[in-house]
A and B are shown apart, each in its own frame.
Chain A
Amino acid sequence: MDKTREMVASVVLLAALAGAALWADAAGEPFYVNLASRVAILGLAGVGLNLALGFGGMVSFGHAAFFGLGGYACGIIAWHAGNYEPILTWPFEVEGTDRMPPIWGVAALVCGLAAAAIGALSLRTSGVYFIMITLAFAQMIYWFAISWPAYGGEDGLSIYVRNGFPGLDTYDALSFFGIAFGALLVALAVSGRLLGSRFGAALTMARLNPVRLATAGIDPFPVRLTGFVISAVITGWAGALYADLNGFVSPTMLSWHLSGELIVFVILGGVGRLVGPVAGAAAYVLLETFVGGATERWPLILGLALLGVVLFARGGIMGALAGRARHD
């Protein structure tokens, strides 16, 4: 594959997203700025999934679990801050907060721990078992969120005051986009750096030929598990941002439709392309907004379009922009 062409396509794509947000803000259209934030956040979630799915070959059909856990971490902490109720009273008192950075820290921690537990069980298997098991664990968390009454249950939880970020007015649509876009750039930089490292090479090899990796003296299991955890942490970060964008968390964020949509972003954009999920998320959000605005039958159109992509246009958007990936 053509590395320079992919690089140029990636930079142009990210610049176009930032440019669209700036243009919409200048035109006084906060709706479109928020749309750009949505693309950045869903793209971020996809970048997380891509690390496991595209580079590590772990087809997780349960990443909505981490997206939703990140969202609930944000919602629950903000709820406690808003009601002046401590989260924990024993063994020591923990207060809620309405600052984004500590919230992100908690979201990352929660998702990392959940992914370590889910991954440790699921990675005992592979192939189709792995797909079904990650789906089942995500459903478990989904049903728990629905039937646990303390934080809204089925109705979800509102975040009445958007959480703050030092030095920025988060209610300003463009500032919020700046935060989301910054997060996306950080995640892309971290993923890129990671994949270029020794660990990235081991992760790729765990996908291509685990036996050979083991022969080289590296056990594939911890490599995969680490990749899965990092992937979940990035997706959870996106979930926390998404909760702030909407001012609302509900079990929908945990539903398996969302897991499916995250996979759609990755594949629509191009599997194993760093910026692919952003392209996929952008295409999805644009379709949803404009086709969904024109006809309520839009899921039908989306379904047929996806079928077309799977059957006839493999390689996705980045494949079309930057040339087909080498077969590996």
Chain B
Amino acid sequence: MTLALLVEQILNGVQLGVMLFLTAAGLTLVFGVMGLINLAHGSLFMTGAFVCAWVAGTTGSFWLGLGAGALAAAAAGAVVEMLVLRRLYDRDHLDQVLATFALILVFSEGARWIFGPQPLWLDAPAALSGAVSLPGGAAYPIYRLAIIGAGIGAALLLWALISRTRLGMRIRAGESDREMIGALGVDIRTLYTLVFALGAGLAGFAGAMVGALQSVQVGMGEPVLILAFVVIVIGGIGSVKGAFVGALLVGVVDTMGRVLLPMGFSNFMPPSEASGVGAALASMLIYVLMAGVLVWRPQGLFPAHG
């Protein structure tokens, strides 16, 4: 394995990781503050991608699309929270699973109805097209580097928001004792809607960014949702720091496994078999990682409450 390939794959892993973080952050915040398990989070990711692709296709501006995608996902999140999810905070997780599963059906079929059954395509903006050369000689797309930068920037902003602002203080207070901050006069219903919209907006932003790397289609949010679950189980449910570490871990392990395992097996197997066995095992790798973390620490790497 050459140095160029190694660097390229690590960057790909980090890029997947920051995208996963943006999705997982909302999921873990919503669980930490409201105690809600939201399966429809992947649908908000999809909403961001669809609206971005549609707006960018209509106006010709990727940047307008990116903003519109994130805002649309945040708005959709706020509406869903006010109409449906608000009634579920006091129910058990089973009702939450079923209701948000139903929301996935509604979102997916709704997207198919509004945008048609064909996938949409989204081009990366001209300013970010092209590639830079990496140490070792390989070329790496600027757009992917920009995604890494944007993801880390969003993570820093989120950190500043949670640890440095009044809203963040209230979110943290909501995590540790929701009755108490309600009693202290904070409008808890608005706070919940804001937290949900924030998480949804982050997922929509991630969806819009990823939309330029893959086709924008119904169901694109579901693999991301399940990876985000793995991320927050590894990181500790409710912990934003855990989500960040977990996301990078999952992104890098998944990407490297898909490259290294088939290569490793080809040392003692015929190449055709090695690629099959390697690919099959690589697809299981992050779940094995998760199982390992659970055996070691059942509450995840950074347990949110003690």
Residues in chain A within 8 A of chain B (CB atoms): 53, 59, 61, 121, 124-125, 127-129, 131-133, 135-137, 139-140, 143-144, 146-150, 256, 260, 263-264, 267, 271, 297, 299-300, 302-307, 309-311, 314
Q: Which residue of B lies closest to A54 (CB)?
A: B94
Contact B229 A303 (CB under 8 A): no
Contact A264 B101 (CB under 8 A): yes
CA distance A242 to B228 in the complex (A): 31
Would you give the shortest CB distance from A104 to chain B, in whole angstroms?
A: 27
Would you give the shortest CB distance from A154 to chain B, in whole angstroms?
A: 12
Q: Does B298 contact A (CB under 8 A)?
A: yes
Contact B105 A137 (CB under 8 A): no
Q: Which residue of A lies closest to B102 (CB)?
A: A306
Q: Does B56 contact A (CB under 8 A)?
A: no
Of the candidates B101, B113, B237, B279, the one whose C-beta lies within 8 Å of that of A297 is B113
Given contacts A128-B31, A299-B109, whether A310 and B276 have CB atoms under 8 Å apart is no
Interface centre among B93, B276, B287 (most CB of A within 10 A): B287
CA distance A309 to B104 in the complex (A): 16
- A contact residues around B282 at 8 Å (CB): 147
- A contact residues around B75 at 8 Å (CB): none
Contact B283 A146 (CB under 8 A): yes
Contact A307 B237 (CB under 8 A): no
Interface string of B254-292 (1 = CB under 8 A from A): 000000000000000000000010011011100110110
Contact A128 B37 (CB under 8 A): yes
- B contact residues around A306 at 8 Å (CB): 98-99, 101-102, 105
Given contacts A132-B233, A144-B284, whether A300 and B110 have CB atoms under 8 Å apart is yes
Of the candidates A136, A150, A300, A305, the one whose C-beta lies within 8 Å of that of B226 is A136
Contact B97 A307 (CB under 8 A): no
- B contact residues around A305 at 8 Å (CB): 102
Contact A300 B113 (CB under 8 A): yes
Of the candidates B108, B233, B280, B299, the one whose C-beta lies within 8 Å of that of A133 is B233
CA distance A143 to B102 in the complex (A): 24
Of the candidates B93, B229, B288, the one whose C-beta lies within 8 Å of that of A127 is B93
Q: Does B294 contact A (CB under 8 A)?
A: yes
- When A and B form their complex, which 5 residue pairs have the shortest distance between CB atoms, in order from nearest? A303-B105, A306-B102, A140-B287, A143-B283, A303-B106
A-B contact pairs, 16 of them (CB 8 A): A59-B94, A133-B290, A136-B229, A136-B287, A140-B288, A146-B283, A147-B280, A147-B283, A267-B98, A299-B106, A302-B102, A303-B104, A303-B105, A307-B106, A310-B95, A311-B99
- B contact residues around A271 at 8 Å (CB): 94
Q: Does B245 contact A (CB under 8 A)?
A: no
CA distance A121 to B287 in the complex (A): 12
Q: Does B166 contact A (CB under 8 A)?
A: no
CA distance A127 to B222 in the complex (A): 21
- A contact residues around B299 at 8 Å (CB): 125, 129
CA distance A124 to B296 in the complex (A): 11
Main secondary structure of the interface of B (DSSP, over half): helix
Q: Does B16 contact A (CB under 8 A)?
A: no
Would you give the shortest CB distance from B20 to chain A, in whole angstroms?
A: 14
Q: Which residue of B lies closest to A305 (CB)?
A: B102
Given contacts A300-B105, A300-B110, whether A310 and B99 have CB atoms under 8 Å apart is yes
CA distance A99 to B244 in the complex (A): 52
Of the candidates B105, B230, B298, the one whose C-beta lies within 8 Å of that of A125 is B298
Knowing that A121-B294, A302-B105, A304-B102 touch, tell me 15 more A-B residue pairs with CB under 8 angstroms.
Answer: A124-B295, A129-B233, A132-B229, A132-B237, A133-B233, A136-B230, A136-B290, A147-B280, A271-B94, A306-B102, A307-B84, A307-B106, A309-B98, A310-B102, A311-B84
Q: Which residue of B lies closest to A303 (CB)?
A: B105
Q: Which residue of A lies closest to B236 (CB)?
A: A129
Of the candidates B37, B98, B226, B295, the one whose C-beta lies within 8 Å of that of A310 is B98
Contact B294 A133 (CB under 8 A): yes
Would you give the shortest CB distance from A202 to chain B, in whole angstroms?
A: 21
Given contacts A136-B233, A147-B280, A306-B105, whether A263 and B99 have CB atoms under 8 Å apart is no
- A contact residues around B230 at 8 Å (CB): 132, 136
- B contact residues around A304 at 8 Å (CB): 102, 106
Q: Which residue of B lies closest to A117 (CB)?
A: B291
CA distance A149 to B283 in the complex (A): 13
Of the candidates A53, A121, A140, the one whose C-beta lies within 8 Å of that of B284 is A140
Would you give the shortest CB distance from B229 to chain A, in whole angstroms?
A: 4
- B contact residues around A133 at 8 Å (CB): 233, 290, 294
Interface string of B93-132 (1 = CB under 8 A from A): 1110111011111101110010000000000000000000
CA distance A259 to B202 in the complex (A): 27
Of the candidates B102, B222, B276, B280, the one whose C-beta lies within 8 Å of that of A256 is B222
- A contact residues around B106 at 8 Å (CB): 299-300, 303-304, 307
CA distance A140 to B110 in the complex (A): 29
Q: Which residue of B lies closest to A264 (CB)?
A: B98
Of the candidates A146, A263, A297, A314, the one whose C-beta lies within 8 Å of that of B109 is A297
- A contact residues around B232 at 8 Å (CB): 132
